[in-house]
Amino acid sequence: MKLPEHRRYRHSAIPERPGYEWPNGARLALLVVNNIEHFAFRAGLGSDVTGPAAVQNQRAYAWRDYGNRVGLWNLLELLDELGVPAAHNINSAALDACPEIAPALVARGDEFVGHGRTNSERQDGLWEGDERRLIEESRDALARHSGAAPKGWLGPYIAQSAATLDLLREAGFTYVMDWPADDQPFWMETRTGRILSVPYSVELNDSPALVMRHHTGREFAEMILDQFEEMLRQSEQRPLVMSVVLHPFIVGQPHRLRPLRDALARVLQRRGRLWVARPGELAAYVEGLPAGLVP
């Protein structure tokens, strides 16, 4: 039996790979990645605090809008307090609708990552020309607001079409976070060259954990600590990447922010053993490693 294949990367078992280190001799890289999203009112797609079957009414819209009005600012204050650099997957529509956001991220030196135009749409059902337009419009808007074109991409709803990787490479993107297949980065093939997959967790992610599985903020904090302790132990054998994925309309709520602060503070007590980085910095570092170290 021959199953359909993606032909983007080959199988590679992690114990069989060559070893390497992150900067300063670290073996575990920590990525804190936030999602800044903007939605249509009473139309399109969108998350709902009550569960996966989202109803596009004023309640669901307002709950998500809390993220850009309040939750993001709560989260940025927390990151400032802890001295954590961050990356933000950004719907380009959010920067036009909320003019305070881009200057605040630029002032922090944070990374802008392409995240489509809005999370009211997905790209995996589009014709190739329409998807190319979506990618380019998102890229150009982020460049206009940040001063530089983004190098990384995460599709709305972590969705890709069969042509997405090709279109991203052709639009100048160098890495993606849509393929949660590994705890290390790996190279993927496109029709015009390679693109890097950077680990991005769908497990240690407040949206599926708190909205879909109805975990509490305290349970999510325990997940962060359990992931950290185990990955720090495993990193004695091989370099690893731990990503913490956030959404300000979810974790920016005060009752969830408090346990998040506690968990990140405990992780950062061992900052000397970590490389706390942004995904673009990690991708650039991998680009400079000798050929063959990264599968």
- 30-47 residue pLDDT tens: 999 999 999 999 999 988
For residues 93 and 38, the answer to whether their CB atoms sit within 8 Å is yes
Three-class DSSP category at 246: strand
Task: Calculate mean pLDDT across residues 101-112.
Answer: 98
pLDDT for 55 equals 80
The half-sphere exposure of 23 on its side-chain side, counting CA atoms within 13 A, is 13
- How many angstroms separate the CA atoms of 223 and 256, rounded? 13
Average pLDDT over the chain, rounded to an integer: 96
Return the percentage of the chain with pLDDT > 90, whole number.
95
The radius of gyration computed from the CA coordinates of the chain, to the nearest angstrom, equals 18
270 band by pLDDT with thresholds 50, 70 and 90: very high
Task: Calculate mean pLDDT across residues 160-171.
Answer: 98
Task: Calculate mean pLDDT across residues 3-11.
Answer: 95
pLDDT for 49 equals 80
DSSP 120: T
pLDDT in tens, 236-248: 999 999 999 999 9
Residue 281, pLDDT above cutoff 90? yes
pLDDT in tens, 121-154: 999 999 999 999 999 999 999 999 999 999 999 9
- How many angstroms separate the CA atoms of 188 and 93, rounded? 29
CB under 8 Å to 189, separation ≥6 — which residues? Answer: 7, 8, 9, 165
CB under 8 Å to 283, separation ≥6 — which residues? Answer: 151, 152, 174, 175, 185, 196, 198
Helices 128-146 and 101-108 meet at what angle, rounded to 10? 70
Supply the CATH classification number for the domain 22-287.
3.20.20.370
pLDDT for 52 equals 67
Q: Strand 175-176 to strand 28-36: parallel, antiparallel, or no bridges (unpaired)?
A: unpaired
Domain boundaries, the chain: 22-287
Three-class DSSP category at 190: strand
A 10 A CB-CB count for 61 gives 17
pTM of the model: 0.96
- Is the C-alpha dihedral spanning 23, 24, 29, 33 positive or negative? negative
pLDDT in tens, 47-67: 888 776 678 999 999 999 999
Of 170, 276, 281, which Cα lies nearest the Cα of 228? 276
Lowest-confidence region among 54-58, 110-114, 216-220? 54-58
Of 11, 32, 25, which Cα lies nearest the Cα of 239? 25
